[in-house]
């Protein structure tokens, strides 16, 4: 009986020791897992594919937390955009393929600026004067695109498409959609998307995408 207890004790020790892993090792393991997941080219239905892309664990949707703000940058594959456009309609293969064709040639991202635990409209946060609200709206609609760019090697590329999604209801976040012309950079190589935040004065916010990260996606099983 005593020996049994000792063995049990040893097993407990091994268990505890195995739990006590260095966080860095855990992260490395996690990264390897993600890499292997994306490299398996698993086949997913379109709804699952959209969820997979939005899952931060898979590295396509990134978040940067700076003080009271969260900055989310999400890569939006054309399949996601087509699905979002059609999900409330009758989603058929032909319609899906047709919509998909509209999004060819560009690499799309969604940038969402969010006030952490915030209430009320983001653009009304910490206003120094009433007219600053209008200035912020104008900035987001017309000026902000000059503060977002993609860096690949020594090249800097400005967005070929930019759209501020104006939310008239009270929401503690603001979203912009942007896209870069695939002819002007290589989406398969490493690049960094940079946003110079002049809205809340947080400076350069960078998001790095590794080589082949945008193409190592699960396959669609069909619509």
Partner 1 sequence: MLKNTINVIAVVCLVTLGLFIYHTYFTTKVVYIDIPVVFNKFEMKKELQEKYKGVEAGRKRIIDSLGFSLQLLANKLKENKTNKGLMYEFDTRREEFFKRKNQMQEDNVALSTQYDKQILEQMTQYIIEYGKKNNYDVIMGADGTGTLMYANSKLDKSEEIIVFINKKYKGIE
Q: Applying CB under 8 A, which residues contact partner 1?
A: 2-3, 6, 9-10, 12-13, 16, 20, 23, 27, 62, 64-67, 192-193, 201-208
Smaller CB separation from partner 1, 6 or 168 = 6
Nearest-approach distance from CB 109 to partner 1, in angstroms: 13
Smaller CB separation from partner 1, 17 or 104 = 17
Nearest-approach distance from CB 26 to partner 1, in angstroms: 10
| C-alpha count within 13 angstroms, C-beta hemisphere, residue 209 | 27
Smaller CB separation from partner 1, 2 or 94 = 2
Smaller CB separation from partner 1, 12 or 84 = 12
Nearest-approach distance from CB 193 to partner 1, in angstroms: 8
Nearest-approach distance from CB 79 to partner 1, in angstroms: 24
CA distance 221 to 44: 5
CA distances from 142 to 67, 138, 153, 161, 221 (A): 26, 6, 27, 12, 39
Tokens describing residue 48 = 């699952």
CA distance 164 to 112: 10
Radius of gyration of the chain (CA): 22
């Amino acid at each position: 009986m005593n020996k049994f207890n000792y063995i049990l004790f040893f097993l407990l020790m091994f268990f505890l020791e195995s739990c006590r892993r260095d966080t860095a090792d855990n992260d490395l393991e996690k990264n390897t897992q993600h890499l292997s997941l994306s490299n398996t080219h698993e086949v997913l239905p379109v709804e699952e594919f959209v969820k997979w892309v939005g899952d931060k664990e898979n590295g396509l949707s990134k978040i940067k937390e700076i003080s009271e703000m969260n900055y989310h940058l999400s890569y939006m594959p054309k399949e996601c955009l087509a699905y979002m456009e059609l999900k409330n309609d009758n989603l058929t293969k032909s319609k899906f393929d047709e919509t998909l064709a509209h999004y060819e040639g560009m690499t799309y991202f969604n940038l969402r600026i969010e006030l952490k635990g915030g209430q009320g409209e983001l653009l009304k946060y910490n206003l120094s004067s009433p007219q600053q609200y209008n200035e912020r709206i104008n900035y987001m609609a017309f000026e902000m695109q000059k503060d977002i760019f993609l860096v690949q090697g020594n090249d800097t590329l400005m967005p070929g498409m930019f759209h501020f999604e104006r939310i008239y209801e009270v929401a503690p976040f603001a979203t912009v959609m942007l896209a870069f012309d695939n002819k002007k950079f290589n989406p398969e190589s490493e690049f960094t998307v940079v946003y110079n935040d002049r809205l809340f004065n947080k400076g350069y916010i960078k998001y790095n995408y590794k080589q082949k990260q945008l193409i190592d996606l699960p396959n669609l099983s069909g619509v």
